[in-house]
Structure 1
């Protein structure tokens, strides 16, 4: 049985920084599953892509992944334009969802057994039916968000979050989360805050905190997802909270020192 299923996007990403631009193979489902696989668990992205990206699945960087839950359809692959400031803070996300508009239906049609399922609560996924199905099946699951749509997605997911094994947030998303759901009702929440320490809460109480290693960033896209995937792998291995946080922070720091899997830009 594959240990971890990750419901989310696989995409063509353009990361724009003040003085550079990178064209990358991206998407939260891909980054999280890859990080978990590199940390020693079998991981499967549950995603929908277009034929334009199908050959990329043969890339040797993806050899660690179980790719059987990626659907290929006759629509363009989802594309994201990610705009960052000079500090690596995400300012805006522009999207052309394409094939990813079929993600909710695809996720609901893929009920195979996993030890754990992670749900990337990000557009265009419709979280309530997906989370309701996981709760009904008593499937262990976790969730995360992205700042650009966090308020909308947290509100949509709120009725199900008390059942989540882990909720992954940054400091701004944590404020939205605890406005929607009482902190004491949430089993485990991780909170990252850029270069400041990462904190883990259990039922609203801080139980672990670790500093974030400092390094010069080459490309920050996927750093948060790498944190999430590495932490999930550690948790599935039964690793203590502080050690899991530390491994996740180290992996995220390593991630930003490389560009990632580059793609040729799509013609206009």
Structure 2
């Protein structure tokens, strides 16, 4: 049994920054699982990909992962076109979901396999039946969102969020979250804010805060997911919250200082 299962996308990503494009193997399930595995926790992405990414599962970077909860469908894989501004802020996302449209059904079949489940509340997953099943099973879980769909996803999942061990957000998502769910109803919330300090709230009160070290930015895709995976791994191992938060920010800083896992672009 893997200790951590991460329900979400594995995708082909085009990261568009002013003046350059990068073609990457991406998806929240991938980056969170990799970060958790590098931090010492057995981690399994729970995803549905197409045949076009089947060979990518043999990349040496993925040998740390339990890949047995990834299904391969006879469709193109999910793909995202991510647009960033000059400061590295995500300003637009275009998506083609492809095989990932099957993710909700697939995820529900694999919940029993994990000690802790992290749910990436991002389309095309329907997180409501997944969270409902986790609450009914009294199974430990955590969640995160992405800015492009955070308002809709937080509204849909609000009844379940007080049961989450951790809700992972950025500063914009935190404002939406606490507008939908009273802060004192939330057990733990991490909040990142780019180069500014990361904060952990418990029931609306600051429990830990840590600075973010400056770094030369090469690629920001996956930085938030790396933070999340590292924080989850640390807390699953019983690391004190302030140290867990510090490890997470350090891992995210290392992530933005590298180019990520490069893929060849798909043929037209």
Structure 2 partner of 1:211: 211
Structure 2 partner of 1:52: 52
Structure 1 partner of 2:182: 182
Give TM-score, length-normalised by structure 1: 0.99
Structure 2 stretches lacking a partner, 5+ long: none
Displacement of 1:100 in angstroms is 0.5
- Tell me if 1:108 matches 2:113: no
Matches within 5 A, 1:77-88: 77-88=77-88
> What number of residue pairs does the alignment pair up?
268
Structure 2 partner of 1:14: 14
- Tell me if 1:140 matches 2:140: yes
- Separation in structure 1 between the aligned mates of residue 112 and residue 177 of structure 2, nearest angstrom: 29
- Per-residue CA distance 1:105-161 (angstroms, 9 max, x = gap): 100111333121000000111111010001111110000000000000000110100
- Separation in structure 1 between the aligned mates of residue 124 and residue 155 of structure 2, nearest angstrom: 15
Matches within 5 A, 1:12-51: 12-51=12-51
Equivalent position SS for 1:16: strand
- Tell me if 1:129 matches 2:108: no
Structure 1 partner of 2:266: 266
**Aligned CA-pair RMSD:** 0.6
Equivalent position SS for 1:266: coil
- Tell me if 1:169 matches 2:169: yes
- Per-residue CA distance 1:221-245 (angstroms, 9 max, x = gap): 0000000000000000101111000
- Separation in structure 2 between the aligned mates of residue 119 and residue 89 of structure 1, nearest angstrom: 23
Q: In the alignment, is the contact (CA less than 8 A) between 2:111 and 2:117 conserved in 1?
A: no
- Separation in structure 1 between the aligned mates of residue 234 and residue 56 of structure 2, nearest angstrom: 28
- Separation in structure 2 between the aligned mates of residue 158 and residue 111 of structure 1, nearest angstrom: 20
- Per-residue CA distance 1:198-236 (angstroms, 9 max, x = gap): 000000000110001111100000000000000000000
Structure 2 partner of 1:96: 96
Give TM-score, length-normalised by structure 2: 0.99
- Separation in structure 2 between the aligned mates of residue 121 and residue 33 of structure 1, nearest angstrom: 15
Equivalent position SS for 1:47: strand
Displacement of 1:30 in angstroms is 0.2
